[in-house]
Amino acid sequence: AQSVTQLDSQVPVFEEAPVELRCNYSSSVSVYLFWYVQYPNQGLQLLLKYLSGSTLVKGINGFEAEFNKSQTSFHLRKPSVHISDTAEYFCAVTPRGSNYKLTFGKGTLLTVNP
């Protein structure tokens, strides 16, 4: 079985500051990793995903994440955030070969203040 731990439930930052949202996972098999974002009163949408290859993955809206196999982490970063980035961010993991077993973390609420 897989599990995902998002280490911070809330992250407040000021506009134009850098941000890192932390995600650690546990799995006995190889996995694929995802970050989804949920804006207020909306569904989830994909920010980025790691399948293979380069461990640095770039996504939409200027976000990027780095896969670290030895530390079983997949932290999300943005060098300069905007007010519009205020949302809940979910890290998710699925074992290779089994798409539907997508396990989500509890989410991190990013609040960007002016």
64 close to 49: Cβ distance less than 8 angstroms:
no
Q: Cβ 97 to other proteins, closest distance in Å?
A: 5
Using CB under 8 A as the binding rule, whether residue 93 contacts other proteins is answered as: no
Q: What angle do CA 18, 108, 96 make, to 5 degrees?
A: 100
Q: Cβ 18 to other proteins, closest distance in Å?
A: 26
Using CB under 8 A as the binding rule, whether residue 32 contacts other proteins is answered as: yes
Using CB under 8 A as the binding rule, whether residue 24 contacts other proteins is answered as: no
CA pair distance 48, 37, nearest whole angstrom: 10
Q: What is the helix (H) or strand (E) element at residue 111, kind and residue range?
A: strand 108-113
Q: Which of these segments, 13-21, 54-62, 69-77, 89-97, binds other proteins (CB under 8 A)?
A: 89-97
User: Given the DSSP bridges, would you call strands 73-78 and 19-21 parallel, antiparallel or unpaired?
Assistant: antiparallel
Among 5, 102, 109, 111, binds other proteins (CB under 8 A): 102
Using CB under 8 A as the binding rule, whether residue 99 contacts other proteins is answered as: yes
Tokens of 45: 């949408």
Chain residues in the site for other proteins (CB under 8 A): 32, 34, 36, 41-46, 49, 51, 90, 94, 96-102, 104-107
